[in-house]
Structure 1
Amino acid sequence: MSTAGDWAASGVLALTGRADGPPLLPPGRAATVAGELADRFAERTGVRVDGAALLAERAAFTGGRRRGAVSVGGSCRLLPTADGWAAVSCARPDDPALLGALVGRELPGDPWPEVAAWLREHPGAVLAERAELLGVAAAPVAPRRAPQVLPEPPHRPVAGLLVADFSALWAGPLCTSLLALAGARVVKVETPGRPDGARYGHPGFYRLLHAGTRSVVLDPASATGRSALARLVDAADVVVEASRPRALAAWGLDAAAAVAAGTTWISLTAAGRGSGRVGFGDDVAAAAGLVASDTDGTPLFCGDALADPLTGLTAAVLATTAPADGSGVLHDVSMTDVVARTLDGTPSWPAGDLPVALPRRREPAGDAPVAGADTADVLRELGLPC
């Protein structure tokens, strides 16, 4: 199938363009890349999914539709800056306050008018600097050069591997849900004050990504919790996390030490472990250049948070590999780089006569555990007091 055909079959076209306009074909070949990643995962594990269809799967649960310069989920916007465009997210409860700090004033009620006014007066570089300093999920839209693709270690069986999943939302849980389907033993880790925000999203989508996993809640502020976290990481064959390094260090977790002990550590961040940038699927994809173009050149969102499923598929493939000598490895997965690798200069254009498939979904393979349902059992297995 052609790149355009892959896009058309994926369900993403139905989510790309203005609400009152025709569907648009996104730039690049992300749907084709997603299919290639899924094929590689299937070759190594026997678990076959439609990679391109995963890109639009969340919208099949939520009923999301295209909204132009507003993301499908409604929490991210494309807004003009003094020298271009920027993607800005307001998804977390404390984001309105952070956006107020960004623009230098308290934002009562709807934050968007004040944010839009501030952006029009400031260049993208100023936004990027202040957003990283404040932890705001925002960045200028500036297409990245595709980074070099490094060779992967040899692949290995996944069945039976112990996977400690410290991630949340979509990218990391998609990775670990695929590993669970392939027979890995996945333990999802949350803390009392920081549950996975996806628990409050669509319940069917949450079940899809967490059926077949176990859930533990551990408190890194307590000696018992820190000990359990350390023991779990020591026992894990694979660790998947999506936090800035200093956040995990505050929990007493050391990626370098785990890798030295033979662990495969997969770190998912907006722009790499060396960056302080915070980002979510919509703003990361748009900032990397995965945006459609309206007839007047206005950038519009492509699909629903495409950086998330692309990164989840990438991480799942990486988890099927390990150095031949049994040593550990750190995979520093930048979501921005994952998106950039799909952009090949192919522009966005109207879908025209292409058949536009609607987003479709897989059915959950069971229920997701409630938070902490398996804490006692996992602690017993680690030889720790319950």
Structure 2
Amino acid sequence: MSRGPLDRLRVAVSGGGPAVRHAARMLSSLGATVLRGDAPMVDLDGVIDGDGTLMVPGIPAVQATDASAEADWAASGAMALTGRADGPPLPAPGFPASAARGALLATELLARIAGRTVSLPGAQVLAARAVLAGLRRGAPWSAGRAFGVLRAADGWLGVNLARASDVELLPAWLETDTVPGEPWSVLAERVACRAAGPLAERARLLGLPATQYPDGSDEQLSARGQTGDVWPFVLNGRVHRAAGPGRARPVLPRRRWELPPTLVVDLSSLWAGPLCGHLLTMLGARVVKVESVHRPDGARFGSAAFYDLLHSGQESVALDFRTAEGRAALAGLVAAADVVIESSRPRALRQLGVVADDVLSATRAKCWVSITAYGRTGPWSNAVGFGDDTAVAGGLLAFDPATGVPAPCGDAIADPLTGVHAALVALACRLGGGTWLADLALREHVAATVHTGLAELGERDERVVAVPAAPRSPERPAAALGADTARVLAELGLP
């Protein structure tokens, strides 16, 4: 059995802080042989130096600056979004910003090894939406104000009311006749006298994105083999963890790494999947975004600048999934793709006649990137979740030391955390070849940055100063809905 798509890659990592160490762990878990300390460059495909500098034979080095977990958090822009509106920006538990930067370092190193000298953005991807949409911190509410953290009788509960349908579910969830138009005061009163666990379970059954702040492992993590050291992704049905001491791997024959032309069909929406597509676009992939003519990506109705940023340079296909022709075109696009990105619960695509396992069994080389709230398997596989609530479910919550007020960390942080790791996995699978089903859960990406086997993060740096993220501008506006449908379908010989 292959140990991962990068099982003939050899890289060295010399020292470094949490971002560099996270990059090393991700590459190792994808199959690469990661050597610690100095090694002859002639024996290596690439190096991540202790300060985050990337070195690849024959390509000028990319200088970087390594930092503590706290400094990464402060520089990412996410810290400025964490805390009360009238209070100070707050640190986050774990190393979420360093994990984002580490995944991007690993992705850029792979791209350079494959001959692409692109420079990727850093950990400020965590705050990209907020800076373009003008969002601000306001604990216990999220930066977008649709999510709030409420005190239950025995802990904390995160509730997301991002959709009109979420508000409509509140009477059934709270077992009451009505909930007023401004529901938060009533929610706080009703939740305060009830246990968080049963409320979260009832929310999952109803399809409401409400979750319990964890006090340990749960049935979903256990079912997915994610107890203890939670890992950001599951590949082909199993967790690929980094090799550690005592788990040495044989060195396989070297190979030449090249990134072939890549067609990405992106069926995802909102943030995590589109960020993955955006990064793959930067790496030279052709990305075709596919939407329903009746239910396009909801992000189109949010910040136009943010939508343009994630979709600039991509093609737009819009299909009527209610018709046989639309479903046939969808199946054809998926079959033609080298990489598929989707963020639907498995049963949703199954209803359209698209089953990941069937698609992968019919090909010798394809990567399917599946992004869900809690994973494709396990008892919570059909639970609804978004970036803020799954972050709380993963244990990422800051507390104001002066008031005890809970503060959501960053802005829907599970989304960008998952997006950058999804791009890393997709690139690795495309480079390595073969068929891969990458199962990425928003909650597990957050939990992996809070509950981790990573070596000690080093001395805590309490002197950091939070800075807002700098805006990134798209090169050009995103394509209008369906602007490229006829041309793309004709080019691929689809109905």
> What's the TM-score once normalised by structure 1's chain length?
0.93
1:340-361 deviations in Å (ceiling 9; x for gaps): 11115899xx996422211222
Distance 2:308 2:326 in 1: 26
Which of 112, 116, 120 pairs up with 2:192? 120
Q: Structure 1 stretch 367-376 or stretch 335-344: which is displaced more? A: 335-344
Q: Which has the higher contact order (CA 8 A, sep 6+)?
A: 1
Unaligned runs of 5+ in 2: 1-66, 112-116, 218-227, 232-238, 243-254
The residue aligned with 1:205 is 306
The residue aligned with 1:277 is 383
Distance 2:299 2:287 in 1: 17
CA-CA distance at 1:312 after TM superposition: 0.3
Q: Is the contact made by 1:155 and 1:321 (CA closer than 8 Å) also made in structure 2? A: no
The residue aligned with 1:77 is 148
Q: Is the contact made by 2:264 and 2:285 (CA closer than 8 Å) also made in structure 1? A: yes
CA-CA distance at 1:383 after TM superposition: 1.1
The residue aligned with 2:275 is 174
Equivalent residue runs for 1:83-102 within 5 Å = 83-102=154-173
**Quick check: 1:16 aligned with 2:82?**
yes
Which of 240, 259, 267 pairs up with 2:341? 240
Q: Structure 1 stretch 49-58 or stretch 224-233: which is displaced more? A: 49-58
Q: Is the contact made by 1:156 and 1:321 (CA closer than 8 Å) also made in structure 2? A: no
Distance 2:475 2:346 in 1: 33
CA-CA distance at 1:108 after TM superposition: 3.4
Equivalent residue runs for 1:1-386 within 5 Å = 1-45=67-111, 46-104=117-175, 105-142=177-214, 145-148=228-231, 150=240, 157-158=258-259, 160-260=261-361, 261=363, 262-274=365-377, 275-295=381-401, 296-322=403-429, 326-344=433-451, 353-385=463-495
One-letter code aligned to 1:314: H
CA-CA distance at 1:118 after TM superposition: 2.6
One-letter code aligned to 1:134: L
Distance 2:285 2:203 in 1: 37
Number of equivalent positions:
382
**Cα separation, partners in 2 of 1:103 and 1:363, compared to 1, 3 Å:** same
Q: Structure 1 stretch 91-100 or stretch 306-315: which is displaced more? A: 91-100
**Cα separation, partners in 2 of 1:322 and 1:13, compared to 1, 3 Å:** closer
1:2-58 deviations in Å (ceiling 9; x for gaps): 111111211112111111111111111111111111111111223322331111111
Q: Structure 1 stretch 96-105 or stretch 179-188: which is displaced more? A: 96-105
CA-CA distance at 1:325 after TM superposition: 7.9
CA-CA distance at 1:331 after TM superposition: 0.7
**Cα separation, partners in 2 of 1:108 and 1:155, compared to 1, 3 Å:** farther
- 1:342 is paired with a residue of what secondary structure? helix
1:311-331 deviations in Å (ceiling 9; x for gaps): 000000001122888431111
CA-CA distance at 1:155 after TM superposition: 11
Distance 2:82 2:375 in 1: 27
> Which protein is bigger by CA-based radius of gyration?
2
Distance 1:374 1:88 in 2: 38
Q: Is the contact made by 1:173 and 1:209 (CA closer than 8 Å) also made in structure 2? A: yes
Distance 1:12 1:220 in 2: 37
CA-CA distance at 1:59 after TM superposition: 1.1
- 2:428 is paired with a residue of what secondary structure? coil
Q: Is the contact made by 2:230 and 2:451 (CA closer than 8 Å) also made in structure 1? A: no
- 1:321 is paired with a residue of what secondary structure? helix
**Cα separation, partners in 2 of 1:150 and 1:134, compared to 1, 3 Å:** same
1:133-185 deviations in Å (ceiling 9; x for gaps): 11111100116544146159x99655621111111111100000110111111
1:105-130 deviations in Å (ceiling 9; x for gaps): 33231122232223223212212221
**Cα separation, partners in 2 of 1:113 and 1:182, compared to 1, 3 Å:** same
CA-CA distance at 1:300 after TM superposition: 1.1
Q: Is the contact made by 2:259 and 2:430 (CA closer than 8 Å) also made in structure 1? A: no
One-letter code aligned to 1:210: H
- 1:314 is paired with a residue of what secondary structure? helix
- 1:217 is paired with a residue of what secondary structure? strand
Q: Is the contact made by 2:338 and 2:366 (CA closer than 8 Å) also made in structure 1? A: yes
CA-CA distance at 1:298 after TM superposition: 3.4
- 1:320 is paired with a residue of what secondary structure? helix
1:187-230 deviations in Å (ceiling 9; x for gaps): 11111221111101111111000001111111121110011001
Q: Structure 1 stretch 117-126 or stretch 32-41: which is displaced more? A: 117-126
1:80-114 deviations in Å (ceiling 9; x for gaps): 11210011100112221022321123323112223
**Cα separation, partners in 2 of 1:70 and 1:325, compared to 1, 3 Å:** closer
Q: Is the contact made by 1:156 and 1:322 (CA closer than 8 Å) also made in structure 2? A: no
CA-CA distance at 1:277 after TM superposition: 1.4
Distance 2:434 2:333 in 1: 18
**Cα separation, partners in 2 of 1:206 and 1:293, compared to 1, 3 Å:** same
**Cα separation, partners in 2 of 1:155 and 1:181, compared to 1, 3 Å:** farther
Q: Is the contact made by 1:243 and 1:268 (CA closer than 8 Å) also made in structure 2? A: yes
CA-CA distance at 1:290 after TM superposition: 0.7
One-letter code aligned to 1:293: F
Q: Is the contact made by 1:258 and 1:328 (CA closer than 8 Å) also made in structure 2? A: no
Q: Is the contact made by 1:208 and 1:363 (CA closer than 8 Å) also made in structure 2? A: yes
